[in-house]
């Protein structure tokens, strides 16, 4: 008697269960994607959003498939525009601040102060150490 026959849960049942669990995960991912896209849209009225929501809740498979067919290419465009806007925001606000106050800039300022005689060598080393540790 081999191990597969002795267990109460045959291998095909295990594979079937894994397939069902995977299908449920994909289904919930699709629902979240559709609702996220629907409620982020600015080109549709509240009634339109309510209509799509009712359709997806009352007829889930038909509603999700209809939304994907009707808005699939527009969903991709909206996601790409949102990613570009996020990237532009990051480039214009986060990077210049971090680059301007980076360790190299702080060390350069400290070196300039040392060369001008405003600080001593020990103070320069302290500022350099702080800049490298931040």
Q: Which residue has the higher pLDDT, 25 or 41?
A: 25
pLDDT category, 51, cuts 50, 70, 90?
very high
For residue 99, pLDDT beyond 60:
no
Mean per-residue pLDDT for 74-101?
73
The pLDDT value recorded for residue 7 is 64
Quick one: CA torsion of 86, 87, 92, 94, rounded to 10 degrees? 80
Q: Where are the alpha helices (DSSP H) in the chain?
A: 3-6, 11-40, 46-58, 60-89, 95-100, 103-116, 121-133
For residue 86, pLDDT beyond 90:
no
pLDDT category, 64, cuts 50, 70, 90?
very high
DSSP state of 41: -
The pTM is what?
Answer: 0.54
The pLDDT value recorded for residue 92 is 65
Q: Report the distance separating Cα 33 and Cα 41, nearest Å.
A: 12
Burial profile 102-125: b = 16 or more Cβ within 10 angstroms, e = fewer = eeeebbeebeeebeeeebeeeebe
In degrees, rounded to 5, the angle at the alpha carbon of residue 37 between the alpha carbons of residues 92 and 39 is 95
Query: Residue ranges of the domains in the chain?
Result: 3-100, 102-134
pLDDT category, 98, cuts 50, 70, 90?
low
Q: Report the distance separating Cα 8 and Cα 43, nearest Å.
A: 55
């Amino acid at each position: 008697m081999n191990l597969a026959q002795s267990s109460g849960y045959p291998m095909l049942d295990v594979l079937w269960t894994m397939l069902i669990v995977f299908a449920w995960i994909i289904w919930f991912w699709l629902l979240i994607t559709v609702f996220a896209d629907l409620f982020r849209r600015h080109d549709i009225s509240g009634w339109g959003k309510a209509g799509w929501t009712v359709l997806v809740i009352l007829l889930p498979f038909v509603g999700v498939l209809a939304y994907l067919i009707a808005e699939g290419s527009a969903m991709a465009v909206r996601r790409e525009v949102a990613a570009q806007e996020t990237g532009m925001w990051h480039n214009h606000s986060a990077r210049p601040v971090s680059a301007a106050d980076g360790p190299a800039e702080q060390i350069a300022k400290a070196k300039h102060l040392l060369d001008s005689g405003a600080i001593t060598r020990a103070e320069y080393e302290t500022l350099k150490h702080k800049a490298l540790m931040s």
